[in-house]
Amino acid sequence: MWTVPAKDAQIPALGFGTFTLSPDDCHRMVKAALEIGYRHVDTAQVYDNEDAVGAAMGESPAPREDVWLTTKVWVDKFRDGDLQKSVDDSLKRLQTDYVDLLLLHWPNRDVPLEETLKALASVKRDGRARHIGLSNFTVSLMKQAFAATEEPLAVNQVEYHPYLNQDPVLDMVRAKGMALTAYSPVAQGKIMGDETLKRIGAKYGKNEAQVTLRWLIQQDGVVAIPRTKSKEHCKTNLEVFDFELTDDDMAEIKGLNRPDGRQISPQGLAPEWDT
């Protein structure tokens, strides 16, 4: 599996996402993903499945240092002191001394960004997180984050799939040497049955999800983290490194974006804080 550069990091281009997975499903599927060959797992404090991720990784023969592990700090832990304690709690649940990437899950207008980023940087400096970054930050908020910290930010994780244009965020992360991690990369299954994706996939013997994931990771600086409860889908999602989309394919898929393409709404935040 190839990797995507982000500052001084190399992130596996395809990861296994755990959003909405129950602890039992999460434990089962993370174990399966690692057995299949994934070396990138994404979770978050608010998912309530960090324990399951930690248990599955502990039971896997894959060495800890070979697995890129991401978690995210929830917005109610953005104060200096609260954030660091929440990371300690996450590490206990994850049964590890560090995470490879620690993200701010959503912007929080009630806590100064400078305070939160100072706390986030402290966690990196003491080794509890190898890299730090953002999630669901607009271009405007990304600029505010860059101004508020000198610590390199490696990633902005946002919803991204063929139905949602993210060109402004992509342009910004590329300009800053960051990566974009695409969550809900198959639009929560909405891409299945799409005639354009089916037609393109037929040329390569691939399904709509495989075409979509290939479209994402074939873009410069993009990582994708599909989530599934199916071991078979988990396996086929990884089978995207043996074909290449043409420039025409890439452009046609990009043209599928639409105004109502977003699947995930902001967590009670005002629209201007949305991505």
Residue from 96, 90, 89 nearest 60 by CA: 96
The residues near 86 (Cβ < 8 Å, ≥ 6 apart) are 45, 73, 74, 77
CA angle 248, 254, 258 (to 5 degrees): 145
Q: Which one of the listed residues 38, 47, 160, 163 is annotated catalytic?
A: 47
> Using CA atoms, how far apart are residues 43 and 140, in angstroms rounded to an integer?
25
Residue 1 in contact with residue 39, Cβ under 8 Å? Answer: yes
Sign of the CA dihedral with 213 first, then 262, 18, and 103 last: positive
> Using CA atoms, how far apart are residues 224 and 168, in angstroms rounded to an integer?
18
The yes-or-no answer on residue 47 being catalytic is yes
- Return the active site residues: 47
